[in-house]
Amino acid sequence: MNPDLVRDPLPMPEHPVTPYLRMERIPHVWCPGCGIGTVVKCFATALERTGVDLEKVSVCSGIGCSGRTAGYLRLDGFHTTHGRAIPFATGLKLGRPELLVTVVSGDGDLVGIGGNHFIHAARRNLDLLVILINNFIYGMTGGQNAPTTPLTARSSTMPFGNFEPPFNLPHLAASSGAPYVARWTCLHIRRLTWAIEEAIGRKGFRFIEVIAPCPTLYSRLNKLGTGLNGMRFYHDNAEIRHGADTRDVAIGFQEPILCGKFVDEERPTFSELMDSHYGEVLGDEYVAMPPEGGFLHE
């Protein structure tokens, strides 16, 4: 080789979110072009910017590709059962109210098998930050139809195209009572990071949907190209419309994706309602769960 071409390796600065990751577990399981890693990066960046005490942050995931998120973040991480990340997180939050409890999981997990928990947690306005990574398909199991698969899109269990109407997730969350509802895509890394940062500062059931490419399954089965093609599609077809009526933000197959912050209201949380109600009816007799939990010290 021409000696002029031999150079010392460039110094490799540490990636800014390295302290937030379990680097010993890298490489991760996600495919090239997958959007989940982008969400992890945005989440870690948002944690860094808010300066929250990381010792008091828990992350819960369910099962599936996005369900692996809890395993890569250097936080108290719980990789739970399929669909049950939200009720598991409910126990964490009520068991130790001082925690910032987050849920990062996929569409099939949170609104397919876990749909009942999703709407009830939103209804109660439990103090949970829920980031749902929506890739329109069951990835881990090989590309089956999801409750989010757009009409006519192909999946391995809808080989002739999907005929089931999908959920409009911001509308599902908002109509169930969520006080904070936003949607971004994996292309919108700054806006997504800001949204997570903002949502960390809010209380109650905060819901952020992130549209993510799945080049291995959704894109392949639907001949949509690589992850890069997916990003190009978002670039050309995502439209930011803050405050949009959530009834209007449903997603059709390869149709424009409306993004933005749709709901940002203040509503008393489950715990606030419990405290104020019991305080009112029980007076001094009411003893709230201590912030550090119902832990019996020796």
Which residues contribute to the site for other proteins (CB under 8 A)? 22, 25, 54-56, 58, 60, 70-71, 74-81, 83-84, 86-92, 94-96, 98-99, 116-117, 120, 270, 274, 278, 282, 285-290, 292-298
Strand partners, 258: 239
Judged by CB, which is closer to other proteins: 175, or 229? 175
Judged by CB, which is closer to other proteins: 6, or 287? 287
Judged by CB, which is closer to other proteins: 98, or 164? 98
List alpha helices for the chain, DSSP H: 36-50, 85-95, 107, 115-124, 169-176, 189-201, 220-221, 227-237, 270-282
Judged by CB, which is closer to other proteins: 29, or 228? 29
Angle at 58 (CA atoms; ends 52, 61), nearest 5 degrees: 135
Cis geometry, peptide bond prior to residue 27 (ω within 30 degrees of 0): yes
Q: How far is the CB of 71 from other proteins (least distance, A)?
A: 6
* H-run or E-run covering 197: helix 189-201
In the DSSP assignment, the letter for residue 218 is I
φ, ψ (nearest 5 deg) of residue 249: -110, 20
Judged by CB, which is closer to other proteins: 21, or 186? 21
Q: How far is the CB of 18 from other proteins (least distance, A)?
A: 14
Helix, strand, or coil (residue 190): helix
Q: How far is the CB of 113 from other proteins (least distance, A)?
A: 9
Cα-to-chain-centroid distance, residue 244: 20
Cα separation, 257 vs 259, whole angstroms: 6
Judged by CB, which is closer to other proteins: 132, or 244? 132
Q: How far is the CB of 3 from other proteins (least distance, A)?
A: 44
Q: How far is the CB of 203 from other proteins (least distance, A)?
A: 17
Contacts of 167 by beta carbon, 8 Å cutoff, 6+ apart: 111, 115, 147, 148
